[in-house]
Chains A and B, each alone.
Chain A
């Protein structure tokens, strides 16, 4: 018999792009809203800083941090809102957030949990 893989559905990926150094705020807000964890990577980007802010653009760091948050679709909206508010994304140059549906994901799921859920259904 082949090994069984537990594939999770109803999963959402929230991506947040913020200035270098702001990822910790984002992750804290996301965890408070129920996210399990987050992946952060460094990047560099351009956008509002050059086009709209003019000389004020110097205050925005072109080095960015990209935060990946994988969440269940029930929690996603709450996390989305909390991060938006915590990272002050309504100010130009602060960054952006977007959300995409994931077809499926797989990771460690505790064994007793699986049996419990199966029994329930």
Chain B
């Protein structure tokens, strides 16, 4: 017999209880006794869970694929295990958490300043003052760049013999090196601003900076003591364009370009990034030149190393101090400009403090992670690669493969590493969407990502080949850049903008330290003079590949049109 159930009873059982409360009463009550909301632990979990989860996952996606590729390669192809994997794993965790905190901190603490300054400054300041602020901002943003720490970490991997100036620049005088790079970026931002104000084309700017940079490179290659600096100098260009400099500088650049130029070109905000990867090599080479003229006591510094490091120079403390030194001056400068000169009130002070605190903490964690995670992993993988083709004491029955097969494996490894790191880069994805819209779908997002990734992959492979065969970097750099020069001249302005900026986008804070350490480890293992230059090749690669793709698209569009005309004529 069917059981009967009243529909009302069913609803009553299913339903939540509702209690009516007049909103008037609520408002009157809160007005009488205002109080702070009490949060249950459940509320905290609900609020913070997604907030942290999304940001953590973002960094996890950037780090894990690359790191696991390196580990798998060591494991599967080279038959060796990762030494000290516990500390490397912890270091990787520190990198992920550090980047998460840092990026959120920059977004909350630094970006509001930068956007505000960019918008209001051109209206209130005279041109020289705008340029001054732009220069200092570029300079200081570079010091805050997380990947810059990788340079210092890499310094310990460089041997003193044979490359005295390189060693000097990376160890005793690493502060000078960082200053030179910052100076280069500052100048680049300055040139970028001038470009907005006077409407110069990027093409002519690129050509006029590339020519002196290449002639300096050529000059350096004549001198055996200066020659090793070339790789480092060009690598510095790739390092600077990271997650702090790019958004900060772009925010100011877009503000200034909106205020100064009549035409509204959405691509004009770019270009500064390009210059920021060309000026630092010139600055670093100039520094090297200055050091070689000045009589620096290159060999006497050996005594300093023997002395025990003071407490502030040993592990976690130096990271903390480095983080504070990187972030606080930048913040102070931004605050000064906004509060003192622009007389703009600082909104949401609490959130700003929170952001800056996060940025400092993130930077510390990232630096620690760099020392224990990224650098050892990269240098280990790099150091093991030669076992594929040459006798290597640490690995049994090495060489594991016949010579040319081994070389092929090493190069394939480099190619895949560059390709994979680029495809995973979130900034490139965002750029792809912009490009697709700007070119009316002629240059699709997929095509851009593939073009850039192939360029980076080939670049990394070439760089690795350079280290293995000890090819002088000049022989690779000069022809590559001459080719880009030629292609730049015949390409249209939009594709020049696009191609040169794609080089800056690809070298993020995870890729740079890994590839740097990889190159140095590899260089050490094969007994090369220095392992720099891989990043330099990885940033010229995408420029070439994107320019070529751009030309191909133009040619295809043109030949399509001609074919249609031919059909119409018949």
Contact = CB atoms under 8 A, between A and B. Distances in A.
Given A85-B16, A93-B47, A55 B351 contact: yes
B37 A58 contact: no
B569 interface: no
B350 A54 contact: yes
Given A56-B47, A59-B47, A92 B350 contact: no
Interface residues of A, number: 20
Interface in B455-495: none
Interface string B29-62: 0000000110100111011101100000000000
A58 B43 contact: no
Interface in B230-275: none
B354 interface: yes
Nearest to B47: A59
A53 to B, nearest CB: 7
A59 B37 contact: no
Given A56-B39, A58-B108, A81-B15, A91 B350 contact: no
Contacts of A78: 14-15
Nearest to B52: A59
Interface in A75-98: 77-78, 81, 84-85, 88, 91-94
A54 to B, nearest CB: 7
Interface in A34-82: 48, 52-60, 77-78, 81
A84 B48 CA distance: 19
A85 B16 CA distance: 10
A56 B16 CA distance: 30
Q: Looking at A59, A60, A93, which has the most chain B CB atoms within 10 Å of its CB?
A: A59
Contact of B46 (A53, A55, A81, A94): A94
Given A52-B37, A55-B351, A55-B354, A91 B42 contact: yes
A52 B48 contact: no
A58 B51 contact: yes
Contacts of A92: 37, 39, 43, 47
B15 A58 contact: no
A58 B16 contact: no
A94 B36 CA distance: 17
Contacts of B15: 77-78, 81
Contacts of B14: 78
Given A85-B16, A92-B39, A60 B354 contact: no
Contact of A48 (B37, B42, B350, B351): B37
Kindly name the residue among A55, A57, A58 whose own CB sees the greatest number of chain B CB atoms within 10 A: A58
A56 B42 CA distance: 14
A60 B46 CA distance: 10
B57 to A, nearest CB: 13
A58 B46 contact: no
Nearest to A50: B348
A16 B46 CA distance: 18
B36 A52 contact: yes
A78 B50 CA distance: 27
Contacts of B16: 81, 84-85
Given A52-B37, A56-B39, A85-B16, A91 B354 contact: no
A88 B37 contact: no
Contact of B350 (A52, A55, A84, A94): A55
A53 B50 CA distance: 16
A94 B46 CA distance: 9
Contact of B47 (A60, A77, A84, A85): A60
Contacts of B351: 55, 57-58
Interface in B1-38: 14-16, 36-37
Contacts of A84: 16
A81 B47 CA distance: 21
Contacts of B42: 91
A71 B39 CA distance: 33
Nearest to A51: B37
A57 B16 CA distance: 29
Contacts of B39: 56, 92
Given A54-B350, A81-B15, A91 B37 contact: no
Contacts of B108: 58
B504 to A, nearest CB: 28
Contacts of B354: 55, 58
14 contacts: A52-B37, A53-B47, A54-B350, A55-B350, A55-B351, A58-B108, A58-B351, A59-B47, A60-B47, A85-B16, A91-B43, A91-B47, A92-B47, A93-B47
Interface of B: 14-16, 36-37, 39, 42-44, 46-48, 50-51, 108, 350-351, 354
The 10 closest A-B pairs by CB, nearest first: A59-B51, A52-B37, A91-B43, A59-B47, A91-B46, A81-B16, A92-B37, A88-B46, A55-B354, A55-B350
Given A55-B351, A59-B47, 20 more contacts: A48-B37, A52-B36, A53-B37, A54-B36, A54-B350, A55-B350, A55-B354, A56-B47, A56-B48, A57-B351, A58-B108, A58-B351, A58-B354, A78-B14, A91-B42, A91-B46, A92-B37, A92-B43, A92-B47, A93-B47
